[in-house]
Amino acid sequence: MPRARVVMAKPGLDGHDRGAKVIARALRDAGYEVIYTGLHQTPEQIVATVIAEDASILGLSILSGAHMTLVARVIELLAQNGASDTAVLVGGIIPRDDVFALEILGARGVFTPGASTQDVVDAVHHLSAVYGSVVERS
Ordered by start, the domain boundaries in the chain are 5-130
The tens place of each residue's pLDDT in the chain, 138 residues long, gives 567 899 999 999 989 999 999 999 999 999 999 999 999 999 999 999 999 999 999 999 999 999 999 999 999 999 999 999 999 999 999 999 999 999 999 999 999 999 999 999 999 999 998 866 544 444
DSSP string, 12-25: TT----HHHHHHHH
Widest distance between CA atoms in the chain: 39
Rounded Cα distance between 1 and 134, Å, is 10
Under CATH, domain 5-130 is a member of which superfamily? Answer: Cobalamin-binding domain (3.40.50.280)
Q: Give the three-class secondary structure for 44.
A: helix
Q: Which residues pair with 5 in a beta bridge?
A: 33
Kindly report the pTM of this predicted structure: 0.93
Sheet of strand 33-36: strand arrangement:
33-36, 5-9, 57-62, 87-92, 109-111
pLDDT at position 129: 87
pLDDT at position 138: 45
pLDDT at position 2: 60
Q: What number of other Cβ atoms are within 10 A of residue 114's Cβ?
A: 7
DSSP code of residue 105: H
